[in-house]
């Protein structure tokens, strides 16, 4: 019986204690480098282009609004209520008005001062509820602390609740055999990204990181309605990495900068990153750059599909808002 050493040709037999010749070491190093590069290329995730998909949704909305105007002489109307003078909220409101204009949707707006009373805000909401030209009402959040947001949002007619936060819409979303009139924009945008990219949901294991009323909980409900097996990871979950590693789909919406690492992910999974955080970066003119709740570089080496930040989920939110407003008008005008 020959040993491995005996079986090897004597000319190429090397002592276990002697170092390999430099040429062989260099050759082996080169092979390892090429192998690592090939693995990295093989595992590099496909980027889900949120800008392109959002533009497709906006184009579809614009075409349907044009057809609606031609048929009925009417257009969808969106009313936005802003309380206070937060710069970020003002920026969001301007972007929504611009998006409405581009889609052919009529834009209405009321700006109230920081010290506006809750009753004044409720009066504005009531007026828009009664206005037949308004098919969607959005109250920009957050509002000043002295105003009860839950009371204001609950006062919006659920048939005009384009944010999808009214208890009746959320309640219907949570029940089988019930259909909400509106679904919250960002979670619906996440599902659109998956479906328009051709990523299967039914029968897959999905993990939502975060349980907020705005994104996490509705996203989990939407995945469940599409027959995924859904787990929610939250601040009290003891083993988030282990749970995420089982998932075919991960939606990260926890508000924690780069919390989800590549080591948390199942190879080939789809990653939807809802987060947007400012990370210090002296190389940037602003001194920071935007990152998500997922550590993008490490995740992109493992995932099959991934959304970038910015340019992923963000553009979808306004696109779905326009779509929700259109659907509200279609119900109001009838077939």
> Burial letters for 142-173: b for 16+ Cβ neighbours within 10 Å, e otherwise?
ebbeebebeebbebbbbbbbbbbbbeebbebb
pTM for the whole thing? 0.85
Calculate mean pLDDT across residues 207-228. Answer: 97
pLDDT of residue 1: 39
Residue 35's pLDDT band (boundaries 50, 70, 90)? very low
Q: How far apart are CA 256 and CA 294, in angstroms?
A: 9
Calculate mean pLDDT across residues 284-296. Answer: 96
Query: Which tokens belong to 55?
Result: 């533009």
Residue 17, pLDDT above cutoff 60: no
Residue 43's pLDDT band (boundaries 50, 70, 90)? low
Calculate mean pLDDT across residues 52-57. Answer: 98
Per the CB < 8 A criterion, the answer to whether 76 and 325 are in contact is yes
Query: Which tokens belong to 242?
Result: 């282990």
pLDDT of residue 21: 53
Calculate mean pLDDT across residues 183-196. Answer: 98
Q: Which residues are catalytic?
A: 96, 140, 163
Q: What one-character DSSP code corresponds to residue 238?
A: S
Residue 88's pLDDT band (boundaries 50, 70, 90)? confident
Calculate mean pLDDT across residues 55-83. Answer: 97
| Average pLDDT of the chain, as a whole number | 90
Calculate mean pLDDT across residues 145-161. Answer: 96
Residue 10, pLDDT above cutoff 90: no
């Amino acid at each position: 019986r020959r040993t491995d050493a005996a079986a090897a040709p004597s000319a190429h037999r090397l002592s276990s204690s002697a170092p390999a010749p430099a040429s062989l070491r260099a050759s082996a190093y080169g092979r390892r480098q090429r192998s690592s590069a090939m693995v990295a290329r093989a595992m590099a995730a496909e980027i889900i282009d949120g800008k392109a998909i959002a533009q497709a949704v906006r184009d579809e909305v614009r075409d349907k609004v044009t057809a609606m105007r031609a048929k009925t002489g009417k257009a969808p109307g969106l009313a936005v209520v802003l309380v206070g003078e937060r710069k970020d909220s003002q920026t969001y409101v301007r972007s929504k008005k611009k998006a409405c204009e581009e889609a052919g949707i009529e834009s209405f707006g009321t700006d109230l001062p920081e010290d506006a009373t809750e009753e004044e805000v409720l009066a504005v909401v009531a007026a828009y509820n009664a206005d037949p030209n308004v098919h969607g009402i959005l109250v920009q959040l957050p509002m000043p602390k002295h105003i009860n947001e839950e009371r204001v949002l609950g006062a919006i007619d659920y048939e005009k609740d384009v944010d999808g936060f009214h208890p009746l819409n959320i309640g219907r979303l949570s029940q089988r055999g019930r259909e909400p009139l509106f679904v919250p924009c960002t979670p619906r945008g996440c599902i659109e990204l998956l479906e328009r990219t051709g990523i299967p949901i039914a029968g897959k294991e999905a993990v939502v990181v975060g349980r907020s009323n705005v994104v996490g909980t509705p996203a989990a409900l939407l995945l469940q309605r599409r027959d995924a097996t859904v787990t929610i990871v939250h601040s009290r979950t003891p083993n988030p990495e282990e749970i995420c590693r089982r998932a075919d789909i991960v939606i990260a919406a926890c508000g924690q900068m780069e919390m989800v690492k590549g080591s948390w992910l199942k190879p080939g999974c789809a990653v939807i990153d809802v987060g947007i955080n400012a990370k210090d970066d002296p190389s940037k003119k602003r001194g920071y750059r935007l990152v998500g709740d997922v550590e993008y570089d490490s995740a992109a080496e493992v995932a099959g599909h991934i959304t970038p930040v910015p340019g992923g989920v963000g553009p979808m939110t306004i696109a779905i808002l326009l779509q929700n407003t259109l659907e509200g008008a279609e119900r109001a005008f009838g077939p």
